[in-house]
Amino acid sequence: MGRLELRVAVRGQRSVAVHQYHQGALRVLRPHYLDDSGQVCYVVVNPGGAYLGADLFVLDVEVGDGADLLLTTQSATKVYRTPGSFAEQRMTVRLGEGARLELMPDQLIAYREASYRQRTSIALRPSSSLVMAEVVTPGWSPDGTAFRYEQVRLRNEIRVEPDGAGGTSELLALDNLLIRPPSGDVTGVGFMEGFSHVGSLVVVDARVDQALADELHLLAAGFDALPGISLTRAVAGTSGLVLRALSNSTGELNLLLSACANLLRERWHGQGPLNLRKH
């Protein structure tokens, strides 16, 4: 079990945490600044090492007006056996005017007989910028059989809050990924097309358009993966895209998603590539 609250705001020329709270098995390490852009990087740590049955982890993240946060994890999220139950993570994110969040966790590993649910609710402004990555990897099984976990469900709900007071938020995207391996052969067409790993990249920004989607798709095609991209409709002057890629390699998907994120970092923010080395 664990709860984490993190609120980031601009102070001087840098983004800093103005509120931190933790309870149970969630922490953040001290902040890092990877370049001179003022973007703050925080690393989420689970001292317990893994998620187990009936575990609930709740994260609340707010990035204030003009603030810039890169949020990652210390290591992979491991979900072990959850007999008769499931492990769950609920994350709420709020982005202010001109706020930016890069959410780049390490991979999620679901082991034999594991069931996991993850719900992420995001509220942002038309001027906000969001880049969010996720990789799901099957864990090792004693008999060497892949896809022995029960299910992984990832649900992202993204809403745009209008400028000014009194308006109501509007749904931009509802991205629901459910992986429920069958008990028999899982290598045939119709279940991840014979692949074992899936990677996702969600981008929301006023600069997202068809040309960017085409460029990211071309970039992703250079990796050992099967990519696909969908654009959202425009809402209040902003729009988004979801990139999904299938592969048999965690490393390949991490490289693919990092390459896409780095393209956006350089083009939109003039920053160098991500360096999230944890050791």
| Arithmetic mean of pLDDT, 203-226 | 97
Angstrom distance (rounded) from CA 239 to CA 265? 17
Cβ-based neighbours of 176, under 8 Å, separated by 6 or more: 153, 154, 155, 156
Structure tokens belonging to residue 235: 């809402």
Angstrom distance (rounded) from CA 265 to CA 260? 9
pLDDT of residue 183: 58
Contact at 8 Å (CB) between 67 and 19? no
1 pLDDT tier (thresholds 50, 70, 90): confident
253 pLDDT tier (thresholds 50, 70, 90): very high
Q: Has residue 108 got a pLDDT over 80?
A: yes
Q: Has residue 165 got a pLDDT over 70?
A: no
Q: Has residue 189 got a pLDDT over 60?
A: no
pLDDT of residue 167: 74
Residues facing residue 147 across a β-bridge: none
Structure tokens belonging to residue 66: 């003009």
Q: Has residue 249 got a pLDDT over 60?
A: yes
pLDDT of residue 186: 46
pTM over 0.85: yes
Q: Where are the domains of the chain?
A: 64-269
Look over the chain and give the mean of its residue pLDDT values, rounded to a whole number. 91
Percentage of the residues of the chain whose pLDDT score is greater than 70: 92
Percentage of the residues of the chain whose pLDDT score is greater than 90: 79
| Arithmetic mean of pLDDT, 233-259 | 96
pLDDT of residue 182: 65
Q: Has residue 185 got a pLDDT over 50?
A: no
| Arithmetic mean of pLDDT, 83-98 | 96
Which of 88, 6, 95 lies closest to 44, judged by CA?
Answer: 6
Q: Write the DSSP string, 19-36.
A: EEEEEES-EEPPPB--SS
In tens, the pLDDT along 229-244 reads 999 999 999 999 999 9
| Arithmetic mean of pLDDT, 34-52 | 92
148 pLDDT tier (thresholds 50, 70, 90): confident
Angstrom distance (rounded) from CA 51 to CA 66? 34
77 to 15, 113, 215: CA distances (angstroms): 26, 16, 30
Q: Has residue 55 got a pLDDT over 50?
A: yes
pLDDT of residue 191: 59
pLDDT of residue 166: 64
Amino acid at 72: T
Structure tokens belonging to residue 44: 């989420």
